[in-house]
């Protein structure tokens, strides 16, 4: 019996617009507990595929009849099989996720988040299933891409649609939760690739060192580089047009960056505090903070983007309310969430030390980003 397939882009629309949806996730319990599709109006049930090989009678009474039903698995095949059984059992509005949770992990949603003083624009690419955020700054026919994920086609396609040439690709730090697309953008577009040199001591490929003296030019738009260590020793922020502060993994909307992913939490906690409580504190409260990640679906705005004024974060972000320095050190180095899946292999890939194939890279990235302290 034929069942409708649905794309990750359509599911992103359900999440962003808070449409009602019931999800039957047929992955095993541990994978489900590690990472799942979430949304304010989404109901979800986990029932492993292998428990339903003989049929869906056991769960049929738990399936609502008044909202759409989506069946998901890791890759697609199991969810399609279960969706067909549900339809044969009388469930009419049932679908399965094309490409499974791997497709959900990779999907990028481009959203305009601001205008530049010269008529250009700032775009945020929301990787909603992974919690990753990338950016394109477009100005007078040229563009900079910041913290690109490994799937670069959306950036190249979007640049063509907007009539801009990608001139620079920047990583604000050496990423540990996802594989950077910066080098691939250089290979495909001829863009200059920039990486903070303090994060690149073990990198085995050529790059442009991103420092406060770097002269990055984008037609008519001011780009300032701000050294802001703490998440990594090389972490760097980008100030665009004196209005948008791209904070990388240092500062998020509801949390702050963790300093432990290179095994240096004790050493880097002081840098993190200095960046957050001194350097950022000296900056304008009206700056719009654009982070490189989000941890919770509640951080999404009504349009699906993630941002907040710096002044608001200094009053509402718990990570910016820890007055005692010793308490701060303890908070950012103890009882942290689990580290990102395969983070050591991802770091080595981003250094150029290993070269996994596309399927291996996709598998390495499965799961949440876990770059915040909570």
Residues with catalytic function: 73
Counting every residue written for the chain, the total comes to 374
Burial status of residue 213 (CB atoms within 10 A of its CB: 0-12, 13-18, 19 or more): exposed
Is the C-alpha dihedral spanning 349, 352, 357, 358 positive or negative?
Answer: positive
E runs forming strands in the chain: 4-6, 21-25, 42-46, 69-72, 94-97, 109-115, 121-127, 132-139, 142-146, 165-170, 192-195, 208-209, 223-227, 236-240, 244-248, 288-291, 308-309
In the numeric block, the tokens 């599709």 are attached to 37
Contact 305, 263 (CB under 8 A): no
CA distance linking residue 246 with residue 224, whole number of Å:
10
Residues 6+ apart with CB under 8 A from 90: none
CA distance linking residue 63 with residue 56, whole number of Å:
10
Q: What is the DSSP string of 151-185?
A: --HHHHHHHHHHT-EEEEEE-SS--SSS-B-HHHH
Nearest to 34 by CA among 46, 22, 23, 24: 46
In the numeric block, the tokens 């502060």 are attached to 245
CB atoms closer than 10 angstroms to residue 57: 10
177, two tokens: 């939760």
Q: Calculate the alpha carbon distances from 209 to 132, 180, 249, 266 in Å.
A: 23, 16, 19, 26
Contact 197, 113 (CB under 8 A): no
């Amino acid at each position: 019996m034929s069942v409708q397939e649905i794309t990750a882009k359509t599911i992103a629309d359900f999440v962003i617009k808070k449409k009602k949806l019931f999800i039957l996730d047929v992955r095993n319990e541990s994978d489900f507990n590690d990472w799942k599709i979430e949304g304010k109006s989404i109901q979800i049930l986990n029932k492993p595929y292998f428990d339903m090989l003989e049929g869906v009678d056991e769960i049929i009474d738990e399936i609502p009849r008044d909202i759409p039903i989506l069946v998901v698995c890791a890759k697609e095949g199991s969810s399609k099989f279960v969706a067909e059984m549900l339809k044969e059992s009388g469930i009419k509005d049932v679908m399965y996720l094309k490409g499974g949770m791997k497709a959900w992990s990779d999907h990028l949603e481009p959203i305009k988040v601001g205008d530049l003083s010269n008529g250009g624009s700032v775009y945020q690419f929301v990787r909603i299933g992974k919690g990753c955020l990338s950016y394109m700054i477009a100005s007078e026919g040229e563009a900079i891409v910041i913290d690109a994920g490994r799937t670069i086609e959306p950036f190249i396609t979007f640049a063509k649609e907007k009539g801009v040439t990608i001139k620079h690709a920047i990583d604000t730090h050496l990423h540990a939760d996802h594989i950077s697309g910066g080098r691939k953008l250089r290979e495909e577009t001829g863009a200059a690739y920039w990486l903070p040199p303090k994060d690149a001591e073990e990198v085995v490929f050529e790059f442009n060192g991103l420092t406060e003296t770097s002269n990055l030019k984008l037609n008519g738009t001011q780009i300032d580089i701000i050294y802001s260590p703490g998440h990594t020793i090389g972490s760097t922020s980008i100030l665009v047009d004196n209005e948008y502060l791209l904070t990388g993994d240092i500062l998020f909307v509801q949390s702050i960056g963790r300093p432990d992913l290179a095994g240096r939490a004790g050493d880097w906690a002081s840098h993190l505090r200095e960046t957050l409580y001194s350097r950022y504190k000296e900056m304008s409260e009206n700056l719009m903070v654009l982070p490189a990640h989000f941890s919770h679906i509640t951080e999404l705005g009504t349009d699906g983007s993630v941002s907040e004024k710096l002044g608001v974060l200094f009053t509402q972000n718990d990570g910016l309310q820890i007055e005692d320095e010793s308490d701060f050190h303890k908070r950012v180095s103890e009882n942290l969430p689990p580290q990102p899946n395969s983070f050591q292999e991802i770091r080595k890939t981003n250094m150029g030390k290993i070269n996994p194939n596309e399927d291996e890279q996709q598998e390495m990235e499965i799961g949440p980003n876990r770059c915040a302290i909570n």
